[in-house]
Amino acid sequence: MKRIVLVGAGHAHLECIKQGSHPDVDWIVINPSRYQYYSGMFSGLADGTYTLDETRIDVKALCEHNGKTWIEDRVTRIDAANKQVICQSGQVLSYDIVSCNIGSRDWDVAGAPARVTIKPNYQIDQALETFRKAASPVIIGSGAAAVEMAASFQSNGTPVTLIHEEPLLSGHPAGIKIAKRLDQLGVKRIVDRFDTLDDQTARLRSGQSIETDAMLFLGGARASELFQASDLYCDTRGFLLVHETLQALEDPSIFAVGDCATLTAYPNTPKNGVTAVRQAPVLLENLLRFVNQERLLAFRPQQRYLTILALGDQQATLLYGRFYQTSRLSWYLKQWIDRKFIKKYTN
C-alpha cells in the first residue's frame, strides 16, 4: 500500500480528493482549516452578493465522503531524505508521494496593526469585517484581485483608496476603461509605489504618506516558507521549481501545483486559480501513474484563458486574450461559473 499525502486543499487537490481512486493507495489530506474558501468569490463577499457559507467547501466532509483521511494541521517542513512531512503540532507522517497545493502568502509587516490579509483564505471573514469597519481602508495592487476588491467594496459602501504603481491589469486594453469605472464608483486612486507601512502610516516612493487603519495588500503572490525551510530547489522568490510533470526538480516523489510552484519550462505562468484548476486533471493522472510506474503527462499552460472581473453593481468585465467586454451578462456568467465550482465539491 502506497501513501499519498496531499498538503493543502487548493483547487487542484479538491479534484484529487473527489476523483482520486486507486486500490493500492492510502490518501491523507492535511490542511490548517476544515474549510477551503474560493477566492474567485471574494469580490462577491465584498459587494454583498454572497454569504460566507456560499463561498466555502467543507474539506473534512469531502474527505470523509470520498474515503480520504483528514488531518487539520499545518505542514511546516518536508523531510525529503526520510520521506516525511512535519506538522506544526509535532506530528510526523511518512509518505511515498507528497503533493503540495498550498497557495501563496501576501506580505509580512512586523508591528503594523493596520495590516489586513486574506491569506490563508480561511481568514477572509475577519479580514473583510476589519476592512469594512475601517475609517481609511487602503488596497495596494494593480492586478485583477486589487481591481475587483476595490470596485466591490466601494460599490457596497466602503470608501476605498487604491494605490498602484503599474497601469491597471499590466497595460491590458481593458485597463483604461476599468480605471474610469473605478473613478466613477468613487474609488480614490493614487498612482505611486507603496514602500512601507509604519504603524498606521503608508509611505510611498514619491515621499507622500497616507494614514490608514486597514491596508489590504493585493500586489502579487509571495512564496510560502515551506519549501525553503525544506531545503528544496526554489526560484529566486522561494517558489518550488517543478518540471512539466509537476514534479520537483530534485525529487520525483514531490509534486506541487498552483501558486506555490513555478514551472521551469513556463516560468511566467500566472499564479492564479485558473492555472491550478487546469493543472488538476494532470496532477491526478500523474499521481496515479507514478504509483503504477507509468510514464507521466506534461502540463502545458494555455496561452489565453477566460477571466471575469466583478466591478460592482452587477457589472463585470470579461477578458479573453486582448478582447474585453463589460456588461451585466458577464456578471451573471461569473456567478454561474463560481457557483458551479462550489457545487461540484459540496454535493
Q: Which domains does the chain have, with CATH numbers?
A: 2-32+73-105+221-291 (3.50.50.60), 115-220+305-344 (3.50.50.60)
| 247-278 per-position pLDDT tens digit | 999 999 999 999 999 999 999 998 888 898 99
pLDDT at res. 175: 95
CA distance 139 to 145: 10
Is-cis flag, bond preceding 120, omega within 30? yes
273's CB contacts (< 8 A; 6+ apart) are 11, 39, 40, 258
Each residue's pLDDT expressed in tens, for the chain with a length of 347 residues: 999 999 999 999 999 999 999 999 999 999 999 999 999 999 999 999 999 999 999 999 999 999 999 999 999 999 999 999 999 999 999 999 999 999 998 776 655 788 898 988 888 999 999 999 999 999 999 999 999 999 999 999 999 999 999 999 998 999 999 999 999 999 999 999 999 898 899 999 999 999 999 999 998 888 999 999 999 999 999 999 999 999 999 999 999 999 999 999 999 998 888 898 999 999 999 999 999 999 999 999 988 889 999 999 999 999 999 999 999 999 999 999 999 999 999 97
CB distance 254 to 246 below 8 Å: no
How far is it, in rounded angstroms, from Cα 243 to Cα 309? Answer: 31
pLDDT for position 3:
98
Placement of cell 457545487 in the chain:
343
Q: Could you tell me the strand order of the sheet in which 306-310 lies?
A: 306-310, 316-320, 323-327
CA 67 from centroid of its chain's CA atoms:
26
Residue reference for cell 476595490: 150
Q: What share of the chain is helix, strand, coil (3-state, %, to 5)?
A: 30, 30, 40
- End-to-end CA distance of the chain, in Å? 29
CA distances from 300 to 12, 34, 215, 287, 290 (A): 15, 31, 36, 17, 19
Phi and psi at residue 215, in whole multiples of 5°? -120, 125
Q: Taking Cα atoms as reference points, which of 177, 131, 174 lies closest to residue 153? A: 131
Note the pLDDT tens digit of each residue in 7-38.
999 999 999 999 999 999 999 999 999 999 99
